[in-house]
Amino acid sequence: MSGILVVQEARGDGNARAFQETLAAGRLLAGLTGQAMEAAGIGDQNKDLFLHVTGTPPARAHAIRHPLLEKYTSDGYVLAFEQLIKKLAPDYVLFPHSYQVRDYVPRLATRFGKVMISDVTAIEAGPGFVRQLFQGKLSATYRPAGSGPCFVSIQSGAFRADAGGGGAMDIEEFAPEIDAAQIRTKPGEPFRGAAQTVDLGSAQRIVSVGRGIKEAENLPLVQALAEALGAELAASRPICDNGWLPMERQVGSSGHTVAPKLYLAVGISGAIQHLVGMKGSQCIVAINKDPDAPIFEVADYGIVGDLFEVVPALTEAVKAAK
């Protein structure tokens, strides 16, 4: 038994970014363990992703094909991956942490007498899989005991997809044996966390506003900064709960996880539920009048000041610099 298998999200767009991030986690694990990495995915629709990876591609990809897998069911997916994993016998199986994965992978893991180590944010030598507990107040490292397979899901935004390089993998077809009687569920419409008019997940720059803005009438101030920077506008939860901005713009544990190049937090305290959604950003800038606000603990640059003075000045400076 050896090797690392990285599994794609099976949905229309293959959740390309999550797959690339999971591959980056897989490469790190491969470096730590000296094991080879392969990839797997269901159906034809995501086959393109096997051809367009960034970073060193896995040597081989397994395209799982069966008419009963055209629509997602946990029964079908468990059966298919159980057979593939038994055939390949990998030590580690890595998944992007998605609604779908949360649904079927714990059951898949129990078929092997294992559990899923979920929401992993870092991988240490050993290997140890790091995940947060109690809304991020504690961080725990899990070191799997015994032999594989070890099932791990990777938190979105925790690993950066490798840039450049890339290439195609050799694709092998895998046809599992599945009987219609084994599928006990009828697939409904796939769940979407938020309407997809804005894709915060792939935004390069985000200006995010919190309760420090005080009233909805003041939002244009921050909107102007976002526009000047060519950034998407996002928010902490109270702003969306108040209906000042739509829920699809909420960042955090019950909103989106983002990892832009620039995350500018305006009047946001930095509660842990917010931090888990944005701390993977490459450069974090925080504007807050409280020098002890927890947001400054994760910020690369901090401006202690009144946002009603700082934000207009910053907007003017950005416009002038263009």
Ligand X SMILES: Cc1cc2nc3c(=O)[nH]c(=O)nc-3n(C[C@H](O)[C@H](O)[C@H](O)COP(=O)(O)OP(=O)(O)OC[C@H]3O[C@@H](n4cnc5c(N)ncnc54)[C@H](O)[C@@H]3O)c2cc1C
Residue closer to ligand X, measured from CB, 64 or 285: 285
Residue from 64, 268, 298, 299 touching ligand X (CB under 6 A): that is: 268
Enumerate residues 178-217 that contact ligand X by CB under 6 A.
Answer: 210-212
Which residues pair with residue 32 across a beta bridge?
Answer: none
Residue from 123, 293, 298, 299 touching ligand X (CB under 6 A): that is: 293
Binding flag, residue 289, ligand X (CB under 6 A): yes
Residue closer to ligand X, measured from CB, 178 or 251: 251
Residue closer to ligand X, measured from CB, 54 or 273: 273
Residue closer to ligand X, measured from CB, 169 or 206: 206
Binding flag, residue 242, ligand X (CB under 6 A): no
Q: Tell me the residue number closest to ligand X, measured at CB.
A: 252
Stretch that binds ligand X, among 81-89, 150-158, 170-178, 270-278 (CB under 6 A): 270-278
| Smallest separation (angstroms) from ligand X to the CB of 304 | 9
Residue from 105, 307, 314, 315 touching ligand X (CB under 6 A): that is: 307
Stretch that binds ligand X, among 47-55, 66-74, 199-207, 272-280 (CB under 6 A): 272-280
Single-letter code of the amino acid located at 152: V
| Smallest separation (angstroms) from ligand X to the CB of 235 | 7
Neighbours of 72 (CB within 10 A): 18
| Smallest separation (angstroms) from ligand X to the CB of 213 | 8
Binding flag, residue 255, ligand X (CB under 6 A): yes
Radius of gyration of the chain (CA): 21
Residue from 44, 170, 290, 300 touching ligand X (CB under 6 A): that is: 290
Binding flag, residue 46, ligand X (CB under 6 A): no
Binding flag, residue 157, ligand X (CB under 6 A): no
Residues forming the site for ligand X (CB under 6 A): 210-212, 236-238, 250-255, 267-269, 271, 273-274, 277, 287-290, 293, 306-308
